[in-house]
């Protein structure tokens, strides 16, 4: 999948495409339904298949002081979209200029003049443009006038009859239920980032860890998880089993949440490399220990439990 960080001057091979438009935070099964509908239309008409999204998430632009809430920052989102076999993704920078662009101007300049879209697909509740006044009706009207098609995809429900949503995924993660979150995402939730240098205390007690900061990610429930992790090299990921603590490490009076990952039977140097970590199951809440011996004993027990889960 090719990624463009602009909408002007795209190669001709990517014009006249069917494009799914949305924020798509999480790329859950509801989002996938929208994106795959665009794929079906593209295949039927033998034209390119694309996704358009926004970075940063508009909510981060309008409310920069709120806690991080994202399920899929851009790198994670691109991984998830690429698995659907989309041809390309256009990432528009959501800044003051884009936020103040009138909805009609967005359609005319971005979609028609520059992308020459063949067909646009979005969720039924998609809004855009200054004041979020642009909607499916406007896209349909302007499409009829300009000659491009438009499809609005209705809410997509899970087997229980409840609509898939990013809000539900966030709730499950905050409640320590990554398994149900994975059911909505159709894959395990993952946190990815560059491995940073920590206190290296884990190495001294026999459980070396790779530390990944949450940055733009939502903070799931603090505690210990059975995980799978892979180096993000651009190739097909090779997943390794492990255990991780997500939290502030109260035993050592830390305050910033960090994901500390211990991989089983793994000896490579990971510092400054990019790691993807899937949260598979929640083992226990984070807790404070009286000393290193108690901590070591609990980590050993956590490792046993994680191996059982991942088996």
Tokens of 53: 């999204």
Q: Which of 259, 222, 242 is nearest to 304 (CA)?
A: 242
Annotated catalytic residue within 260, 268, 286, 308: 260
β-strands 274-285, 258-263: how paired? unpaired
Q: Rounded to whole angstroms, how far apart are CA atoms 44 and 271?
A: 47
In order, the DSSP letters of 78-93 are HHHHHTTT-SEEEEEE
Q: Rounded to whole angstroms, how far apart are CA atoms 133 and 102?
A: 8
Q: Respond yes or no: is residue 104 known to be catalytic.
A: no
Q: Which of 149, 150, 107 is nearest to 130 (CA)?
A: 107
Q: From its phi and psi, is residue 277 left (phi > 0), alpha (psi between -120 and 50) or beta?
A: beta
CB 246 within 8 A of CB 287: no
Q: Rounded to whole angstroms, how far apart are CA atoms 119 and 18?
A: 5
Burial of 102 (0-12, 13-18, 19+ CB in 10 A): middle
Residues known to be catalytic:
260
């Amino acid at each position: 999948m090719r990624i463009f960080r602009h909408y002007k001057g795209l190669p001709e091979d990517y014009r006249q495409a069917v494009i799914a438009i949305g924020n798509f935070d999480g790329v859950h099964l509801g989002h996938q339904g929208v994106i795959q509908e665009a794929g079906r239309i593209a295949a039927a008409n033998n034209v390119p298949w694309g996704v358009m999204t926004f970075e940063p998430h508009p909510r981060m632009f309008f409310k920069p002081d709120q806690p991080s809430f994202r399920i899929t920052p851009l790198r994670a989102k691109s991984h998830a979209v690429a698995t659907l076999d989309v041809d390309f993704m256009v990432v528009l920078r959501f800044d003051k200029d884009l936020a103040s662009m009138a909805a009609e101007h967005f359609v005319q300049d971005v979609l028609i003049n520059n992308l020459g879209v063949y067909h646009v697909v979005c969720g039924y509740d998609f809004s855009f443009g200054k004041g979020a006044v642009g909607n499916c009706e406007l896209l349909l009207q302007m499409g009829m006038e300009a000659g491009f098609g438009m499809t609005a995809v209705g809410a997509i429900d899970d087997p229980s009859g409840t609509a898939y949503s990013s809000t539900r995924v966030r709730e499950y993660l905050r409640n320590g239920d990554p398994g149900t979150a994975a059911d909505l995402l159709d894959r395990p939730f993952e946190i990815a980032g560059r491995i940073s240098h920590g206190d290296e205390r884990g190495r001294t007690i026999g459980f070396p860890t790779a530390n990944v900061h949450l940055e733009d990610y939502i903070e799931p429930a603090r505690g210990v998880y059975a995980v799978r992790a892979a180096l993000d090299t651009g190739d097909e990921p090779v997943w390794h089993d492990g255990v991780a603590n997500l939290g502030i490490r109260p035993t050592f009076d830390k305050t910033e949440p960090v994901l500390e990952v211990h991989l089983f039977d793994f000896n490579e140097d990971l510092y400054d490399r990019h790691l993807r970590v899937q949260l598979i199951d929640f083992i226990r809440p984070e807790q404070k220990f009286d000393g290193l011996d108690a901590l070591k004993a609990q980590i050993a027990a956590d490792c046993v439990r994680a191996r059982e889960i991942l088996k």
